A and B are shown apart, each in its own frame.
Chain A
Amino acid sequence: MASLKDHKSHQLGLHKEVLTGRTQQVFFNPEESENFFYYNSYKVDFNKRTEIDVSDLDCVSLNKKIKNLMQKGFGTIVLKNPGAKHSLGVGILNKLNLIIEGSLGYFGVGSIDGPIVRISGRVGWSCAENMMAGKVVIEKNAGSCFGAAIRGGDLICKGSVGARSGIDMKGGTIIIGGDAGAFTGFMMQRGRIIILGNVGPNLGDSMYDGTIFVGGQIGSLGADAVEGELTELDHSWLKRKLKVAEIDKKINFKNFKKIVSGKKLWNYDNLEPTEKKGAI
């Protein structure tokens, strides 16, 4: 079991800052009172609904159309026939109900900040990359680099995902209902990943921080990833988060494993204070 308390970076008081703002996850705050303030956003009415047939549209035309509709106050937009095209629904910096009836290709709903997205099909590589806030629910499977570099929000895949999910993630929660591939949580820096099924080799390789919860078997742990202590607080958080994720399976959280950074690869403790002194 990893004991992180004696680590020098903890003694220095690092890792204790309280993060605020709509793009940052407030860890273990029971109210989850994220401050959703949307600068220059459109006022939309969720009851105002429209549909778009994507069959003959490219990603640029579609994404512009979504923006124009939000400008007109549409709060619920349904995309039909997405046909696994790439880069659909990207850059939505607004509250919106986006319902996608079908599958997305690569880079679907990337760089979003606020919308609730429901996808009935599968998504390709790098779904929701750089997501800042909001919620994305995928009913089927997802490709590799799922939720790469997300900063916040809830990203849920009810099926299985490819390799490197949550690579470089800096906040938010990724929830995977099935299995996950190799290098899940590679170099993650903050946030949480929950995998209900099995996960491939090199889990959490070179992770800086953050937490990974695994319900099934772990192929192997990556460099500097270690098993942490699973607490009652973790159990209650997992239970709550899976409810948010609309996953109704009966799960015995006592069998879960919690993976955290061993912080042995860090050179921050040696370098950062010196650098700070140099800067002063």
Chain B
Amino acid sequence: MCGIAGLIHRKKSTNVGKEMQNMLQSLKHRGPDSTGYALYGDSDSKDYILRFKVGENVKEGSSAIIEDESIYEHRKDKVNSAINDYGAKIIEEKRITPYSYRYMISTSEDLLELAKKIESVEMTEILSLGKSLELVKDIGDASVVAKQYGLNEFSGTHGIGHTRMATESGVDIRSAHPFWGYPFSDVSVVHNGQLTNYWNTRRKLEKLGMRFMSTCDSELIAVYIANKIRQGVNLEEAMRSSLDDLDGVFTYLVATKDKLGMAKDYMAAKPMVLFESDDLVALASEEVAIRSLLPHEIDTYDPFEGEVKVWQA
């Protein structure tokens, strides 16, 4: 069934890493297979943060193919070459797990072409590329993933996250949420539901040059929104048009560098509870997640069918 959560602080930064961890941990019962975070940091840097993986987590429960870990270093070297050949500069390089990395890179070139170069390396997938977005996802619950990737001290304004119960595709990082809105910096999506016109819509988007890295239906939303942004459509309009263009039952969250949005399909078959105050907007599949931030009595409500909302940081 999956659980999704998001929060946005208005005009201030807090420890969103810890806050999102608490929200997602309280939704663990909705999806124990994998957990993902898209966190938006305070960075005003002109450089890009690149999160990518060169292999899969193959621990118990994973449906990924087991590989010899020695190949990861070889692939990472190839990624470095691809970045350098493209004319971008690696400022900082950090290995987070045997198969995933966090880089700071400097480039003034087209992100799409850079992304294509990096992903031309076998089994390599960019998880996120942006100036404030850091997208982390792995197998395990929210605490396991937060500890593994050191998210407990992450300071920022907003974030979205996902606890996954794998139904449409395998248990692996590739199919875990959030999905990056390739190739636009700082766009991420989490989704709860099922899309029934996945293949038809995917084929249309692929013809337009959009890339898919998994067969998870949720990735379609990220690609759909990215394509709309590419066409110059603003976030809210893109989300509104998705209600007509996507079939199925879904509630999803989108985040950009300074915005958080939610959309609910016309059937309203997937839950979403919303809390809104002058300082904070928090929303989740269940109110217990919001209570992990605000344990006192609060006023919450369910957005209605066909609702789209966007909040500014």
Contacts and interface: CB of A to CB of B under 8 A. Distances in A.
Interface stretch (A13-21, A42-50, A155-163): A155-163
B31 to A, nearest CB: 15
A84 B302 contact: no
B304 A163 contact: yes
A127 to B, nearest CB: 12
Interface residues of B, number: 20
B291 A143 contact: no
B299 A140 contact: yes
Interface in A68-104: 83-86, 102-103
B288 A163 contact: no
Contact of B271 (A125, A140, A183, A201): A125
B287 A122 contact: yes
A161 B271 CA distance: 12
Given A105-B288, A182-B304, A124 B267 contact: no
B301 A141 contact: yes
B55 to A, nearest CB: 38
Contacts of B286: 84, 86, 105-106, 124
- Give the one of A106, A160, A162 with max B CB within 10 A: A162
A85 B302 contact: no
A182 B305 contact: yes
B287 A84 contact: yes
B302 A144 contact: yes
Contacts of A222: none
Interface in A122-174: 122, 124-125, 140-144, 159-164
B291 A182 contact: no
B184 to A, nearest CB: 32
A177 interface: no
A228 interface: no
Given A122-B301, A200-B305, A201-B305, A85 B288 contact: yes
A121 interface: yes
A123 B302 CA distance: 10
A181 interface: yes
A83 B302 contact: no
Nearest to B290: A84
B263 to A, nearest CB: 15
Contacts, number: 71
B68 interface: no
A85 B299 CA distance: 15
Given A124-B286, A201-B305, A181 B300 contact: no
B297 interface: yes
Nearest to A83: B291
B288 A83 contact: yes
A48 B279 CA distance: 43
A143 B295 contact: no
B273 interface: yes
Contacts of A163: 267-269, 304-305
Given A84-B288, A163-B269, A181-B304, 14 more contacts: A83-B288, A84-B287, A86-B288, A102-B297, A103-B287, A106-B286, A124-B273, A124-B287, A140-B299, A141-B300, A159-B301, A163-B268, A181-B302, A183-B267
9 nearest A-B residue pairs (beta carbon): A163-B268, A84-B287, A162-B302, A182-B305, A141-B301, A181-B304, A143-B302, A84-B291, A84-B288
24 contacts: A83-B291, A84-B286, A84-B287, A84-B290, A85-B288, A105-B288, A120-B297, A121-B297, A124-B286, A125-B271, A140-B299, A142-B302, A143-B271, A144-B302, A159-B301, A160-B301, A162-B268, A162-B302, A163-B268, A181-B302, A181-B304, A181-B305, A182-B266, A200-B304
Interface of A: 83-86, 102-103, 105-106, 120-122, 124-125, 140-144, 159-164, 179, 181-183, 200-201
